[in-house]
Structure 1
Amino acid sequence: MTQWIHMSQMIQCLSDETVNNLYPPSAFPIEVRHFLADWIESQRWDDFVMEKVEQESQARTLLDQTISMLQSMAQQNTNVVDRMKLMQISRNMAVFQQQPLQFAVMVRDILRKERVLLNAAPAQIPNPPQYQQYPGREPSFPIMQDVDHLVLKVLEVQDVRQKMHQLQEDLNWERQNYEGLQGTIQQNGLDAATSEIQKLQTHIQQLEYNVKAMATKRFQQLKECVDCLDQCQGRLINRLKAWRWEQHKATIGHPFDEDLNPLQTWCEQLLGVNGKLRQELMLIGEPIPELQERLGQLLQVLIQSSLVVDKQPPQVIKTQSKFSTTVRYLLGEKVAPGKPVVLKAQIINELQARNLGGVPGDNVGELINNTAILEHNTSSKSTCATFRNMSIKKIKRADRKGSESVTEEKFALLFSTEINITGCETPYRIQMISLPVVVIVHGSQDNNALATIIWDCAFSEADRVPFVVPERVPWRMMYSTLNSKFTAEVQTQHNLDQYNQHFLAQKIFDKPDFADDFSNMMVSWAQFNKEVLPGRPFTFWQWFEGVMELTKKHLKTYWSEGLIFGFIGKQHLHLILKDRPNGTFLLRFSDSEIGGITIAYVSATDNGGQKIQNIQPFTKRDLEIRSLGDRIRDISHITYLYPDFPKHEVFKKFYTEPQASPIGGYIPVSLHTKVGMEAGSATPPNPSMAPLTVHQFQQPFSPQESITQDIMDSAPPSVEFTEHIPPGNNMDLDLDTFLQTLDS
């Protein structure tokens, strides 16, 4: 019952239409296959041929046994529903009593179709849950159902060809008999044989008609198969493009299922079907140019489309630096043995990428270690060429116009080779380009180069001309990209919220007082990363990327738990803190410098009123010296995280425990964060900005002697605010109220 075990698992993945075509409910329902699986697979069904009438007795015996076993199982079955179902099936199968050979041939064909499906099915079929797809991705099963249908149609063509062959043999035999009988009559002058000759002539004419009808049917089936192959391959090519598109979008944090095995299986299936159809055309004995040409074109497209950049090179590449990339060939198992297949990589510019078709003319860059052999891995069943130590030695830039920067110029790697496929007479030249890359010569260019890649990945269209991107996009698209990139880079589930979104829009558009919806306002590439922000020496992307890096390396848990407000404007900040008790604070990302987080808190004025104090931002360097949690614990002026959470309850788990005991007789060293006034410093020029002083107790010269000194924090003397609401709590002032306040 081995075949049925696998087939029953595969059926879960087939459409109802495919299952009903395989097991006709009115003739041989699936219940018969299931309940009699062992017995069915032990019989010699493959021996039956419709034209061999001498097999009728044997076929009737098998039919009687089938009906008898179904009736016996029905009587023994305790489930009344199954019992009634089996009895009904046994009665229905009695219709074959007049044509038992038809029953035997039907079972033969069903078993053959099962074997074809099992041989063509992906290895994962026995375990359907492995086929879970990411949201938005077209499910695998429709394509698989197309292939199932196509395989069955090819099997029908082969059956018709075999029947035609049998009919032609019968026709040849009868013609020979006719010629012999005609010769005998002429020699002996026997008139009595005239009726026999007429019968023979009629039979021959009927056979000739049947052969012609079968030939017409065969041609029509072949055409239908080619049409079906064309449609199925078109869907597969679209799925390959979708895979590359998802790979492209993964750069900005979109989900991506990188598994290529199902696509490889489908490529192999379609190659096999193409080969079978070409064989059927050859066996016709006369050329059919239309179908032969279509199959040739389909074959060429499939062979050329099966080259995929599995692991993309870095999209920002520094010259003289090593990098790697992997190219996979989905028809690797079909590559003709013998001469190894060597892939060559070369770097091309945007103009060359637009004019692919032959070998690029000018060499715009020199690649080191730019060849790799296509090797098959039997365990993973993948065929890949891995470039492990590639490097760009030099690059030739295109002429730039206006304010264009070298970090805005996009290149790509072109992979190409010549390949021979088993069963194909001529070699095929195949090629594939990587995602666009930006080539830099110094690490200081990395941030701007990454901005070019982000804009390209986020806003390019699927079937664009390389590497065209819009100059302006709606803010809603820009914000979605920032959110996806931020959460993916920080590796958090905590998204930017509507308050963050509004502040980011105010910042990039330089509209701090704008209270309306920014969604449809167009943001330009220049606003994103060419023009510096007003009053700042950096662009919007440079500032945002700095915040992202700081959060990724030092604030991931704080952000993920909703303890950091994040992006908030000063006006909004004052509105939500102005009526809060002294000591209420929140955390926000620095607005004035790259990669800083600051504490804004409510404090008392000399006349008994309140003011908002903003502690100078903590940078990456500051948080490497002392964590944010410990700094919050150190500052006694801040007591409640907005809106009203005691800071020691919220941040306790982030506190570092003090050193338990002296080591080697020395008094242990500690760092302690204090705001400027606490340390006795002078009032800062801007009363809203409180500088920091870090008291550091130095290791003494001896156990009895110690030195204490005040060391001012090295961060720039600017101060900002930053914070986020813990999960499950809402701000007192919602965004709509805030916007109405601004508008009024």
Structure 2
Amino acid sequence: MAQWLRISQMLQCLPDDTINNLYPPSAFPIEVRHFLAEWIERQRWDDFALENVEQESQARALLDQTISMLQSIAQQNGNVVDRMKLMQISRNMTMFQQDSLQFTVMVREILTKERVLLGTDLRSAQIRRRRSSNTDVDHLVLKVIEVQDIRQKMHQLQEELNWERQNYERLQGPIQQNGLDHTKSEIQKLQNHIQKLEYNVKAMATKRFQLLKECVDCLDQCQTRLISRLKAWRWDQHKATIGQPFDENLNPLQTWCEQLLGVNGKLRQELMLIGEPIPELEERLGKLLQVLIESSLVVDRQPPQVIKTQSKFSTTVRYLLGEKVAPGKPVVLKAQIINELQARNLSSVPGDNVGELINNTAILEHNTSSKSTCATFRNMSIKKIKRADRKGSESVTEEKFALLFSTEINITGCDTPYRIQMISLPVVVIVHGSQDHNALATIIWDCAFSEPDRVPFMVSERVPWRMMYSTLNSKFTSEVLTHHNLDQYNQHFLAQKIFDKPDFADDFSNILVTWAQFNKEVLPGRPFTFWQWFEGVMELTKKHLREYWSEGLIFGFIGKQHLHLILKDRPNGTFLLRFSDSEIGGITIAYVSATDNGGQKIQNIQPFTKRDLEIRSLGDRIRDIDHITYLYPEFPKHEVFKKFYTEPQASPVGGYIPVSLQTKVGTEASSDTPPPLTPLPESPHSAVGFPSVSEDMDLDIDKLLESLHQ
């Protein structure tokens, strides 16, 4: 499904003809790829070939499975248009039953084309950038070659001029002695030739100087673009924290750096060969060289952005001009931790030591196979940290630090060593795991809403809700590894929750949400913030509910009013899955049930948490509960969730009685569960308005607890 997730995003930008060529409507429509995405990517299509007739039976089995699954999905689809379309597609695909291998080879080729497209898409931006940079650099290199060519021609002309001057001096003697007319004529011709040579040498010198100036201008422009690309790479790396796409390949930028360093060296050489100083160009080349050398240090692998003291972590720094480092003395990089104020004054070496780092040095080493030069800090640790004075209600988890990496480096062809340094992305330092959620909130806000080229580490205190929602959606889908985005209903409920406006029905897009609303102020009537609640849902989905969410079986974020609105006219037993809004990391089942007087009411089962789903999966719990029969709007639960049911285990050996867990709800739970031998504390997850849930077991409660501890 990972491949389909990426390819489906690309398809929005492709013309219809390209899509139809990729997914032939008459043979393998795009709907097949969409609805069977996960299953298709699990099969071994690459093994099939038309000439391997022995694979026919295996190919036939895959074709039959494809048709069967399409029919099953069609029957479960509540949209009549989709249902009829899928049934028609399944009927059309029976045409391959006479040649199943043709079908499997077709799917193989489609997946191969997708991979090519993905590779092309991933590389297209790189290629465009490379073409732009390569065109510029190629143009620059041609200019440098022209300068070198003029220098060589000037040298030849100068040698000829020196020779002719020598001849002129030699012929001067006979004229003075004999006064021969033919000698005078030769001397006149020689004099004219010398004047022409002198004019050509002077003209070439002027052109040479002009070309040198143009080369320096062009080098300046190329290097400015390179520095912008390096900044863009760091910016993309920063945004990757919230799930934005990031191409981490530094090789093209390294090649660009090396090319510009080579051009700079050749131009400095050409200036020296002129034989007279040209201060303006010399200073510009020296400054460009310094900027290039200092800008080529990159934090290739960032440290964790939330770091707990006394805990080990690693980070890698790469030098893009590593192959140009002068041999001899090893280059040792030193890391130190700096605060926000120090990060704003990197021109001076930080004086006050705000933290103590363990294992904070690493040697810059060259890898010949990858052609990269890196220093890897493998077992770094923050032993202690010095906090700044906090303002008002600011907490320690809002204070941002960074790692500063520095060294002194000698580059081949350069006379003086250079002091280079680079800082990491901002990090938050914590001392206890309980601070992790709030620290991560600081990082998320910083990554999502900071501006390029900001003053470290300034970020706006309020942003439009549309930006907030985009960040939440990006972070959710990237963490859960799903293509199923939060929908408009989820978005609206999240806005109602963070703004505490449950009755607001208009568009929230341009309403400003503050940092305090995100993760300082607790939600009304709750002991947690919006981010703590959202992250709990994200973690639960990531670890226990990914497939359910990806297949659209979980409604997700929905308010009570909306819940009653869509369920009020549904038959008894209709249910949907929603994330609990009363506790962190819970999912509950809301269902329609009958009242004593024959009416209907909406019931919410006590939320299942991570611990609950570790004991018994959501699919098995849904199977256990007889009160629920149809997933909203009208999907039979045993058809929709069958794939998630656990098969009964075989009877254990040794004569033991088999044990099973089962979920019971409400009065069913209280009547069937045997009384405990000792009073048990009330569940910390119980909530008013939620029917209770119990685990029913054919043993006494002591053995149940014992088995859980084991």
Q: Give the Å deviation of 1:694.
A: 1.8
Against the structure 1 CA distance between its residues 515 and 287, is the aligned structure 2 distance closer, same or farther, given a 3 Å change threshold? same
SS at match of 1:193: helix
Does the aligned pair in 2 maintain the 1:252–1:454 contact within 8 Å?
yes
SS at match of 1:139: helix
- Equivalent residue, structure 2, for 1:536: 526
Does the aligned pair in 1 maintain the 2:593–2:603 contact within 8 Å?
yes
2:242 corresponds to 1:241: no
Q: Give the Å deviation of 1:139.
A: 2.5
| C-alpha distance in structure 2 between counterparts of 1:128 and 1:605, whole Å | 56
- Equivalent residue, structure 1, for 2:54: none
Once the two structures are superposed, residues 129-159 of structure 1 have per-residue CA deviations (whole angstroms, 9 ceiling, x without a partner) of 9775478776221011111111111111111
SS at match of 1:670: coil
SS at match of 2:298: strand
SS at match of 2:641: helix
Does the aligned pair in 1 maintain the 2:666–2:692 contact within 8 Å?
yes
Match of 1:274 among 235, 246, 264: 264
| C-alpha distance in structure 2 between counterparts of 1:651 and 1:180, whole Å | 107
SS at match of 2:402: strand
Does the aligned pair in 2 maintain the 1:596–1:619 contact within 8 Å?
yes
| C-alpha distance in structure 1 between counterparts of 2:480 and 2:123, whole Å | 21
Match of 2:580 among 590, 599, 624: 590
Does the aligned pair in 2 maintain the 1:342–1:374 contact within 8 Å?
yes
2:386 corresponds to 1:385: no
- Equivalent residue, structure 1, for 2:693: 692
Once the two structures are superposed, residues 67-111 of structure 1 have per-residue CA deviations (whole angstroms, 9 ceiling, x without a partner) of xxxxxxxxxxxxxxxxxxxxxxxxxxxxxxxxxxxxxxxxxxxxx
Structure 2: gaps of 5 or more residues:
1-115, 673-681, 706-710
| C-alpha distance in structure 1 between counterparts of 2:554 and 2:235, whole Å | 34
- Equivalent residue, structure 2, for 1:367: 357
Q: Give the Å deviation of 1:689.
A: 2.7
| C-alpha distance in structure 1 between counterparts of 2:223 and 2:435, whole Å | 43
Matches within 5 A, 1:634-713: 634-680=624-670, 689-698=690-699, 707=700
Residue identity in the other structure for 1:690: P
- Equivalent residue, structure 2, for 1:612: 602
| C-alpha distance in structure 2 between counterparts of 1:633 and 1:710, whole Å | 24
| C-alpha distance in structure 2 between counterparts of 1:227 and 1:477, whole Å | 40
Q: Give the Å deviation of 1:661.
A: 2.5
Q: Give the Å deviation of 1:201.
A: 1.2
| C-alpha distance in structure 2 between counterparts of 1:368 and 1:545, whole Å | 31
2:207 corresponds to 1:189: no
Q: Which has the higher helix share?
A: 2
Residue identity in the other structure for 1:183: G
| C-alpha distance in structure 1 between counterparts of 2:688 and 2:328, whole Å | 80
Q: How many residues align?
A: 577
Residue identity in the other structure for 1:535: G
Matches within 5 A, 1:316-465: 316-465=306-455
- Equivalent residue, structure 2, for 1:200: 190
- Equivalent residue, structure 2, for 1:549: 539
SS at match of 1:679: helix
| C-alpha distance in structure 2 between counterparts of 1:686 and 1:631, whole Å | 19
Q: Give the Å deviation of 1:195.
A: 2.0
Q: Give the Å deviation of 1:252.
A: 0.5
| C-alpha distance in structure 2 between counterparts of 1:687 and 1:206, whole Å | 104
2:213 corresponds to 1:223: yes
**Percent of aligned pairs with the same amino acid:** 86
Does the aligned pair in 2 maintain the 1:694–1:711 contact within 8 Å?
no
Once the two structures are superposed, residues 13-39 of structure 1 have per-residue CA deviations (whole angstroms, 9 ceiling, x without a partner) of xxxxxxxxxxxxxxxxxxxxxxxxxxx
| C-alpha distance in structure 2 between counterparts of 1:131 and 1:582, whole Å | 51
Against the structure 1 CA distance between its residues 495 and 472, is the aligned structure 2 distance closer, same or farther, given a 3 Å change threshold? same
SS at match of 1:643: coil
Q: Give the Å deviation of 1:181.
A: 1.1
Matches within 5 A, 1:133-152: 133=122, 139-152=129-142
2:615 corresponds to 1:625: yes
Does the aligned pair in 2 maintain the 1:695–1:709 contact within 8 Å?
no
Larger Rg computed on CA atoms: 1
Once the two structures are superposed, residues 326-345 of structure 1 have per-residue CA deviations (whole angstroms, 9 ceiling, x without a partner) of 00000000000000000000
SS at match of 2:239: helix
Against the structure 1 CA distance between its residues 535 and 686, is the aligned structure 2 distance closer, same or farther, given a 3 Å change threshold? closer
SS at match of 1:664: coil
| C-alpha distance in structure 2 between counterparts of 1:686 and 1:329, whole Å | 56
Does the aligned pair in 1 maintain the 2:334–2:407 contact within 8 Å?
yes
Q: Give the Å deviation of 1:193.
A: 2.1
| C-alpha distance in structure 1 between counterparts of 2:594 and 2:568, whole Å | 11
Aligned-residue CA RMSD (Å): 2.0
Q: Give the Å deviation of 1:638.
A: 0.4
Against the structure 1 CA distance between its residues 130 and 668, is the aligned structure 2 distance closer, same or farther, given a 3 Å change threshold? closer
Once the two structures are superposed, residues 625-653 of structure 1 have per-residue CA deviations (whole angstroms, 9 ceiling, x without a partner) of 00000000000010000001000000000
Match of 2:513 among 523, 529, 536: 523
Structure 1: gaps of 5 or more residues:
1-126, 699-706, 713-744
TM-score (norm 1): 0.76
- Equivalent residue, structure 2, for 1:95: none
